[in-house]
Amino acid sequence: MTTLTHFTNRSIPAVTRWLAEHSIDVLRVSLGLVFLAFGALKFFPGASPAEALSVATVEALSFGMLSGGAALLAVAAVECFIGVTLITGRLLKTGLAVLGGALVGIMAPLVLFFTDLFPGTPTLTAQYVFKDIVLAAAGLVIAARALGARLVAQR
């Protein structure tokens, strides 16, 4: 047996065990950083490329009860709360429940503003919203772990 084959046969199970033990936590923290970063941008008017879309979505979903700066502040606070809970792991189930609700709002533009987002080919804003499908999938994996599911390496 060559040295490389021997090394590979020994290292792959160790890497697999490490991934099974840590990859979901890495996913949780990285998703938290994304939410915290995008949420923090919304505290500074004009800093977020999704500002107008966020405000329009909240206005539509709240039937105009929240609009303008209040809508943007609400989105910023919710996204930062989600980010902090994911990064720290504290209040995780609460943060995941808020994330579930937020994902409705995050995906709502695909329904509410479909013709604006897809006037033919997808606009840059449509692509921005569409990539959130990956964030939703990551949230599902993290929620499964928080509710007791385990990723276990085969022996």
Per-residue pLDDT averaged across 57-86, rounded? 95
pTM: 0.87
Compute the residue count for the chain: 155
Summarised one tens digit per residue, pLDDT across range 79-103 is 999 999 999 999 999 999 999 999 9
Question: What residue segments make up the domains of the chain, in order of their start?
Answer: 34-146
Round the average pLDDT of the chain to a whole number and report it.
91
Q: What band does 155 get if pLDDT is binned at 50, 70 and 90?
A: low
